[in-house]
């Protein structure tokens, strides 16, 4: 059974639960996806399916080739325990999930560019007195005095922030609407609007 789907983050909104409690939810356009390739243990060393999502932009010459299969904008693999009963061309939609399911959402976080240690690592910064009024957001000393007398690898310093893969685990599915290809999950998911996300069934049950 396929355990995931490709989607596009639409944004966040608020909805009321049956008990009247207001919940913040993220709307995701999940699928429909098509199976474009099946990988097996015997041939590839692992079992997985490749899903295609979105329509790629084509040139005028490519559009004239009417007999070719549609080109997908995004291709992603999802591991599969048993590929039996799955074939190329099958559709995967949001009916894979139902309200109450727990899912893991993978996306690329928003890029923040070059950021200092206060913003990137939440450093407190230096004092505003004792002659240091011009370096309150500096990292401070980065060396280690006499021994080892160098900067340790991996030391938290200023640098590129964001634009990296982030996984948010165990988000609850608030609502799944196969007719509109819409999936609503409680809480926030990584990435900007219209960003690509992968939704997988979580290993934990509610």
Check pLDDT > 90 for residue 190.
Answer: yes
Residue with tokens 């928003």: 110
Mean pLDDT over all residues of the chain? 86
Interior CA angle at 104 toward 98 and 109, to 5°?
130
Q: What is the mean pLDDT of residues 62-89?
A: 73
Check pLDDT > 90 for residue 162.
Answer: yes
C-alpha span between 188 and 46 (Å, rounded): 32
Could you read off the pLDDT of 88-133 as tens digits, one per residue?
888 888 888 888 889 999 999 999 999 999 999 999 988 888 888 8
pLDDT of residue 108: 95
| Six-digit token string for 53 | 């999502």
Could you read off the pLDDT of 19-57 as tens digits, one per residue?
888 989 999 998 789 988 888 888 888 888 899 988 887
What strand order describes the sheet that includes 33-39?
72-79, 48-55, 33-39, 91-92
Q: What percent of the chain has pLDDT over 70?
A: 92
Domain regions of the chain by residue span: 1-56+70-111+165-206, 112-128+136-161
Closest of 111, 69, 92 to residue 7, by C-alpha: 92
> What band does 66 get if pLDDT is binned at 50, 70 and 90?
very low
Check pLDDT > 90 for residue 184.
Answer: yes
pLDDT of residue 72: 87
pLDDT of residue 111: 94
User: Residues with Cβ < 8 Å from 36, sequence gap 6 or more?
Assistant: 50, 51, 52, 72, 75, 88
| Six-digit token string for 166 | 């982030």
Check pLDDT > 50 for residue 177.
Answer: yes
Check pLDDT > 50 for residue 202.
Answer: yes
Check pLDDT > 90 for residue 144.
Answer: no
C-alpha span between 2 and 147 (Å, rounded): 54
Q: What is the mean pLDDT of residues 132-143?
A: 85
Topology given in CATH for the domain delimited by 1-56+70-111+165-206: Elongation Factor Tu (Ef-tu); domain 3 (2.40.30)
What pairs with residue 167 in β-bridges?
A: 106
Q: What is the mean pLDDT of residues 130-157?
A: 85
> What are the angstrom distances between the C-alpha of 155 and each of 142, 144, 152?
8, 11, 6
> What band does 69 get if pLDDT is binned at 50, 70 and 90?
low
pLDDT of residue 58: 67
């Amino acid at each position: 059974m396929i355990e995931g789907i490709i989607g596009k983050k639409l944004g966040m909104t608020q909805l009321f639960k049956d008990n009247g409690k207001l919940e913040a939810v993220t709307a995701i356009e999940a699928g429909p996806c098509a199976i474009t390739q099946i990988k097996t243990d015997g041939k590839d060393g692992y079992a997985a399916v490749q899903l295609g999502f979105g329509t790629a932009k084509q040139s005028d010459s490519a559009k004239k080739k009417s007999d070719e299969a549609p080109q997908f904008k995004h291709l992603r693999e999802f591991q599969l325990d048993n590929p039996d009963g799955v074939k190329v061309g099958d559709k995967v939609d949001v009916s894979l999930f139902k309200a109450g399911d727990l899912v893991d959402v993978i996306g690329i976080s928003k890029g923040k560019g070059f950021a200092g240690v206060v913003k990137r690592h939440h450093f407190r910064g230096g004092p505003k007195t004792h002659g240091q009024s011009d370096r309150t957001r500096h990292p401070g000393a980065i060396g280690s005095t006499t021994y080892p007398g160098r900067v340790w690898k991996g030391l938290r310093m200023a640098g590129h922030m964001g634009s990296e893969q982030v996984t948010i685990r165990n988000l609850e599915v608030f609502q799944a609407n196969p007719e509109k290809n819409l999936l609503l999950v409680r809480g926030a998911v990584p990435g900007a609007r219209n960003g690509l996300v992968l939704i997988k069934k979580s290993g934990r049950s509610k």
